[in-house]
A and B are shown apart, each in its own frame.
Chain A
């Protein structure tokens, strides 16, 4: 009977040419919430609203820079506690020019701010002081943790020890089966990471309701700017981009055309080993996306999904597959767990360097 259900499921999905359409529309309300006397909307959907209750707002950031539109009703004015998780170590909260420092003695990625808010509309910015300063900076990149969740803390410790790394950008597959206890464990392991972790989802986050990802971490397709560089993440969990996501991506990368631009997605549009077909389910769609990326002067593309390390070019854009988060590794490829260290030089409009760091 299970075989029949599986076969039926496959047939029904095969009848659909947009398997990710519903998931794309699910992303749209991410970052918004309302209660009787207050509402919040995070610009670009760049944070998941984990809690909005009486004088309390808790967010999980998917960006080092947040613009929080908070509307405070007549009965909701007063002292608010705003908790921003997964934020940069030196991020502060700016309310119309008034800077609020975070509570001391918290985990480096947890910013707790106490902000007096009068009834009305407020635009709160959470960002480090140097967010708009165009200068070189460094990030780490990784993907495909999956079954290695129990021991990923040692990768996080090594990333935390990378000098001057500001945050981690990740290409998905943080869980094996998208189970709640896996997400719980992931968050527990993040305690060993002293910088934020911004990620899209992978195909393994689709084993269960993807809203588990959206509710905890925010959107899977999003873009943020930091220090003159743009980071564009796209949900390719079904081995392709939904047209809605592709439209977002095309607009985002076009807007970033004159900045240093980095594109991340889980599944490579075209597998560098073409005959393996580890890329999009349609090579034509993959090549169309690569054309758009190349035309928008994207400087670097980062992928996961294939559990190895590959440095290559796609459509003339430097590309890396880094599936070294610990998931069942490719055999006989000479590399196991690893992550990337990416040095970005926005003033030069370039990626200065990408190094691979071996963990095992």
Chain B
């Protein structure tokens, strides 16, 4: 009898988790759409790499983490920051370069930080932050904790030495890290198969005697499940895991790059959009009777309001004071 009553509760918890992740994915999607608008209006400068199409990776993986775990990312990290709980206001204000931004307007789109949430930054050199993840994992082990470090990078980073050096040390020293490779198939405008001898990123794990899993990055529950297994391995045994999460970027590499053209066709992008992770999750929840059009509309309206408020907040926030130019170069 106990099983019979426990089952619906578990199902309900699972549905609740999925609805929560749907909200996060929608928030990221609407946020990025607004960021693109603001960029076009000149409110956001420099490089701005959008996450549209990849939302299931951040939502599915970060749902597994505890507050005391570490997160570290590449420069395509708006989604991870939002899902980790960095307020949309602070993220948008950072994109706008404002004093109220999560890095006081000094980092910008590529360098979002929130040390309190153990969100240890976006980093701008491809693959350069992967050894930093190993260092965060090292610190956890040094102190004897059971936290983990979740590190995101794109498939193009796999071709750089830092990836290999970090994976080797993480495995030799048994560091509690999840190396989450978001394989969106293109490093800027170069298809991975044109520049990588081994195109299944998971296979690199063999070189470092590391557990690995190939994951459908358009299925948020698949990402969640794989991350959960990797997190358990890290917490219980200290061993790292390499996840290759196959996803797709619906936008150009950055706001200044074309969506398609010389390196991929419009048809390919349209075909991939049929696998939109948000649409897939909505469909699944509807089939399970856990979501209807009205609830979806309400959810969408709610996140749109959050994003709209974030844009207003960022717009109205002050620039950093000129004295900020020379502060934080060194700890005084």
Do A and B pair up? The answer is: no
Binding site for A on B (CB under 8 A): none
